[in-house]
Chain A
Amino acid sequence: MADEALYEFLHSELVGYVTEKSAKENKKDDLSALEYMGFSSGYRIIERLTKERPRFNDELDTVKFICTDLWSTIYKKQIDNLRTNHQGVYVLHDCAFRFLSKLSSGRQYLESAPKYVAFTCGLIRGALANLGIKCLVTAEVQNMPGCKFHIQVQRS
């Protein structure tokens, strides 16, 4: 894996570039480009991570894999807390999310927090999409550096 700092710096440049571009096109706070980049990265990385793995038993098993293996590969730690209502809603709580941990430990810069979690929302969505789960991923930041990712599985 490439140096962690490089990924951090590249990610913040990505955020800066995308927000500047959307501001120029008069689409304020349009993070869909960022989310899509995360989606395709997640879609690809999961292929590499699961190549030596047997198939998953069920949906919960798959989400657990995201919390442990995917997270520790990318963020060098595991998700601190996983909750589910067993009806397709999962909440992943990371108490010290890497892209926020350098920003603040309180409410300062809170208005910029969504920009730094959009990529990761896409990453989760992409990873699950390639494992056959269609879903919606949103993030919620109340107190930095903690972050909650909500996964809502879409059943057809």
Chain B
Amino acid sequence: MTVHNFYMFDRYGQLLFYAEWNRLRQSGITREEEAKLMYGMLFSIKSFVSRISPLDNTSGSREGFHCYRTSKYALHYMETPTGLKLVLNTDNVAVNVHELLKQIYSQVYVEYVVKNPLCNLSEPIKSDLFEAQLDAVVKQSHVFTSKPT
């Protein structure tokens, strides 16, 4: 199992943070363009999912979109009530990635960005401590164990 990369967007679609671990192929475009592409796709999937759903999603069920899977990798998505979006790409066999996303949000983002008065919440995250803690949490998780073969 492995973790490929991680994106974090704010409510307005700005890329707050990007990290990668085992990314074997780059997109060939700049990071900003890639982020825009990624956010646009997520936005479309979200509205697609809420429109096309045959069930009534408004009454107490779980928040619409949470992951998609291709033959090679899986994209996991989490959105907080404040509109913060966390995206983690892993391989197909990873389980319980949502636990990891929640952990990143509550133990890394809230602790080291929200509680850091020197971090402006509407700007990309520059704190080294945040980066180090994120790396530690991801590497410690059971999702991140072996490199892809």
Contact = CB atoms under 8 A, between A and B. Distances in A.
On whether the two chains bind one another, the answer is yes
B117 A105 contact: no
B90 to A, nearest CB: 27
Majority secondary structure of chain A interface residues (helix, strand, loop or mixed): helix
A108 B118 CA distance: 11
A102 B115 contact: yes
Contacts of A5: 115
Interface of B: 111-112, 115-118, 127-129, 132
Contacts of B117: 12-13, 15-16, 103, 116
Interface of A: 5, 8-9, 12-13, 15-16, 102-106, 108-109, 112, 116
Contacts of A105: 128-129, 132
Contacts of B112: 102
A108 B115 contact: no
A102 B111 contact: yes
Nearest to A108: B128
B128 A106 contact: yes
Contacts of B111: 102
- The 4 A-B pairs at the shortest CB distance, nearest first, are namely A12-B117, A102-B115, A102-B116, A108-B128
Given A105-B132, A108-B129, 8 more contacts: A5-B115, A8-B115, A12-B117, A103-B117, A103-B129, A104-B127, A106-B128, A109-B118
